[in-house]
Chain A
Amino acid sequence: MFSSVEAGLIYAVMALGVYLSFRILDFPDLTVDGSFVTGASVAAVLIVNGANPFAASAAALLAGFAAGVLTGLLHTKGKINPLLSGILMMIALYSINLRIMGKSNVPLLQQETVITKITAAWRQAGLDAALNRLVSFTGFAPRTWAVLVSMAIVALMVKGLLDWLLKTEVGIALRATGDNKPMVASFSANTDWLIVFGLGLSNALVALSGALVAQYGGFSDVGMGIGMIVIGLASVIIGEALFGARSVARATWAVIGGAIVYRLILALALRVEFLETGDVKLITALIVMMALVVPNTLAAQKERQRKKRRVRQLERGETVAGAETNYKSV
């Protein structure tokens, strides 16, 4: 469970990227499946070749940005529809990722990574002992708190950055582009440029998340991105359903929460004896389907009951809001 929260926080960065493309730009961007691996591959290869893991992660972020920019250009300049632009980039990136790694899997187990560095520094500072004392009454003591705390900080920094960006003049134009594109052009904003930039940023976050996942899991694999967009959507949709999305700041909280809840649901599901690790994608799809269908069904049912109640009240001759003015209005 503890590791689910850790993973959830790392994947939250990816989910925030998906939120940016899917919700803010209204662009269902499938590049994510490819750019996640691009981030992982770039980071892994650089680390194996002796680069500083923090610099490697930054390079992964830039690579993701480039991938997103290309998708944006395919859509805006090439006039290819959003889904297809993303699919084309995703499939192209599969080969590119193989080229980057030179093989289908790069292990990082013996390497210095962001995770090992932070954990080491953390241990030196003796913070684990302090935190364990705080929760000692629960009898629970994790391996280390380093990953949880540092990844929470990363996720919050990304959230803060997004919240701030979307409040700036550029950010407002970005949001309006996803809300009413023709209108944005009439207020002299270049929607093509905004879409390219937005997708770049979105995939930069996805690639950063991929780089961190590779370092956390100890390998980069060409197949690790399959279904990543669905996991991102699951986090966004679960988060919004559970925590609401009235404002941008609220929605980004919800996305982080959704990413963690998704990992927890997955961990619980995998405890069921009948299910295997290979069923993860199926479970993910089912979670998304449920997150999409259940709220609608509940709302419809509530609405039906509300109407029935009103009819019953009218039959009983009670006064009902709205009914008394019937004869007055024309």
Chain B
Amino acid sequence: MLELKRITKVFNEGTADEKIALRGIDLTLAPGDFVTVIGSNGAGKSTLMNIISGRLSPDTGEVWINGRDVTALKEHARARYIGRVFQDPMAGTAPHMTIEENLALAYNRTKRRTLSLGVTKQKREWFRETLRTLHLGLEDRLAAKVGLLSGGERQALSLLMATFTKPDVLLLDEHTAALDPARAELVTELTKQIVEQHRLTTLMVTHNMEQAIRLGNRLIMMDGGQIIFAAEGKEKEELTVERLLEAFQRIRGSQFASDRAVLSS
């Protein structure tokens, strides 16, 4: 479903600030795969997400989605195949527009936008049904401005907006990191439920090892722009935070670089 072929990316090449962000990443996600990505700050996780979504273009290598080479497609054109949720709850919604208008915008992700009405009676009914699955009572607040919602509610809405049109690939970029523990738990649960329900091919970056272990059928660990550890199936199910840390030390021979990763485990 999603194929990354020998992706490399260097920032500020030839200057004192040169940074090799990705060193030949190869990764293939089969349909329905749910891959969690962990790694310390600067490991290249965000760069990888941005290259898949088209916000950045790779120096070398190709991105394939659903058997199609999308490397040359611009971000907005590629978005037809990709659903995304960002870390910042403010990033995924338009605050001065209503809930139903935001959903209408998301509804057109896979369709050409025309001069027909954005929110029709029929769509509104469907939005209401879909919102009900969040169990947040948002279905009764269709005409409320999204800016009035709490961070957790906005992130849940973002998740719904990214998924209810069933994208070929779902990208989650630390989408629970900015929420308080209770809200993060709620959004994590919703993520699990939605991904399972639609069998979405998903790539999720997280700083939270416990979350990375709990969700998905595959796990990869990145460091220094490379995938240094991968686990799937039974091996993934038997992973614990301790074993992950051990694996990292064995490979890198150093303490896990990010304090945050340890703290949040």
Chain A interface (Cβ within 8 Å of chain B)?
165, 167-173, 175-176, 179-180, 182-191
Q: Do residues A188 and B95 form an inter-chain contact, with CB atoms below 8 A?
A: no
Q: Do residues B95 and A186 form an inter-chain contact, with CB atoms below 8 A?
A: no
One digit per residue, 1 when the CB lies within 8 angstroms of any chain A CB and 0 when it does not, for chain B 53-94 equals 100000000000000000000111111101010000011111
* A180→B77 CA distance, assembly (Å): 18
Given A167-B119, A169-B116, A170-B115, 4 additional A-B pairs, CB 8 A: A169-B113, A173-B105, A180-B95, A188-B109
From A170, A172, A173, A184, name the one whose CB has the most chain B CB atoms within 10 angstroms. A172
Interface residue B108 (Cβ < 8 Å from any Cβ of A): yes
One digit per residue, 1 when the CB lies within 8 angstroms of any chain A CB and 0 when it does not, for chain B 87-122 equals 000111111110001101110111001111111000
The 8 A-B pairs with the shortest beta carbon distances in the complex, nearest first, are A188-B79, A179-B94, A172-B118, A169-B113, A176-B94, A185-B76, A180-B94, A187-B109
Whose C-beta in chain A lies nearest to the C-beta of B112?
A169
* A188→B109 CA distance, assembly (Å): 5
Pick the residue among A165, A172, A186 that contacts B79 (CB under 8 A): A186
Chain B interface (Cβ within 8 Å of chain A)?
53, 74-80, 82, 84, 90-97, 101-102, 104-106, 108-110, 113-119, 161-162
Pick the residue among B105, B114, B117 that contacts A184 (CB under 8 A): B105
Q: Do residues B108 and A187 form an inter-chain contact, with CB atoms below 8 A?
A: yes
Q: Do residues A179 and B116 form an inter-chain contact, with CB atoms below 8 A?
A: no
Q: Do residues A188 and B76 form an inter-chain contact, with CB atoms below 8 A?
A: yes
Whose C-beta in chain A lies nearest to the C-beta of B75?
A185
Pick the residue among B53, B75, B115 that contacts A165 (CB under 8 A): B115
* A180→B74 CA distance, assembly (Å): 18
Contacts of A179 in B (CB 8 A): 94-97
- Return B70 CB to nearest CB of chain A, in Å: 12
- Return B224 CB to nearest CB of chain A, in Å: 28
Whether A169 touches B104, Cβ cut-off 8 Å, given contacts A186-B53, A186-B79, A189-B76, is: yes
Contacts of B78 in A (CB 8 A): 188
Contacts of B108 in A (CB 8 A): 169, 172-173, 187-189
Whose C-beta in chain B lies nearest to the C-beta of A166?
B118
Q: Do residues B80 and A188 form an inter-chain contact, with CB atoms below 8 A?
A: yes
Contacts of B162 in A (CB 8 A): 186
Contacts of A190 in B (CB 8 A): 74, 76-77
Q: Do residues B116 and A180 form an inter-chain contact, with CB atoms below 8 A?
A: no
Q: Do residues A170 and B113 form an inter-chain contact, with CB atoms below 8 A?
A: yes
Q: Do residues A167 and B117 form an inter-chain contact, with CB atoms below 8 A?
A: yes
Contacts of A169 in B (CB 8 A): 104, 108, 113-118
* A294→B141 CA distance, assembly (Å): 33
Whether A172 touches B75, Cβ cut-off 8 Å, given contacts A167-B117, A186-B84, is: no
Whether A187 touches B91, Cβ cut-off 8 Å, given contacts A169-B113, A170-B115, is: no
* A173→B117 CA distance, assembly (Å): 12
Whether A182 touches B109, Cβ cut-off 8 Å, given contacts A168-B117, A172-B104, is: no
Contacts of A165 in B (CB 8 A): 115
* A39→B116 CA distance, assembly (Å): 30
A-B contact pairs, 14 of them (CB 8 A): A167-B117, A169-B117, A169-B118, A172-B105, A175-B94, A175-B97, A176-B102, A176-B105, A179-B97, A180-B94, A185-B76, A187-B106, A188-B78, A189-B76
* A81→B80 CA distance, assembly (Å): 28
Q: Do residues A180 and B115 form an inter-chain contact, with CB atoms below 8 A?
A: no
Q: Do residues A180 and B113 form an inter-chain contact, with CB atoms below 8 A?
A: no
Contacts of A176 in B (CB 8 A): 94, 97, 101-102, 105
From B93, B108, B114, B116, name the one whose CB has the most chain A CB atoms within 10 angstroms. B108
Q: Do residues B92 and A183 form an inter-chain contact, with CB atoms below 8 A?
A: yes
Contacts of B80 in A (CB 8 A): 188
Whose C-beta in chain B lies nearest to the C-beta of A173?
B113
Contacts of B161 in A (CB 8 A): 187
Q: Do residues A180 and B76 form an inter-chain contact, with CB atoms below 8 A?
A: no
- Return A187 CB to nearest CB of chain B, in Å: 5
Whether A180 touches B119, Cβ cut-off 8 Å, given contacts A172-B104, A188-B109, is: no
Pick the residue among B76, B94, B110, B113 that contacts A191 (CB under 8 A): B76
Contacts of B90 in A (CB 8 A): 180
Contacts of B96 in A (CB 8 A): 175, 179
Contacts of A167 in B (CB 8 A): 117-119
- Return B52 CB to nearest CB of chain A, in Å: 12
- Return B120 CB to nearest CB of chain A, in Å: 10
- Return A184 CB to nearest CB of chain B, in Å: 7
* A314→B239 CA distance, assembly (Å): 57
* A174→B222 CA distance, assembly (Å): 38
Pick the residue among A172, A182, A183 that contacts B101 (CB under 8 A): A172
* A170→B79 CA distance, assembly (Å): 16
Pick the residue among B92, B95, B118 that contacts A171 (CB under 8 A): B118
From B76, B78, B101, B119, name the one whose CB has the most chain A CB atoms within 10 angstroms. B76
Contacts of A170 in B (CB 8 A): 113-115
* A190→B54 CA distance, assembly (Å): 13
Q: Do residues A183 and B94 form an inter-chain contact, with CB atoms below 8 A?
A: yes
* A189→B108 CA distance, assembly (Å): 8
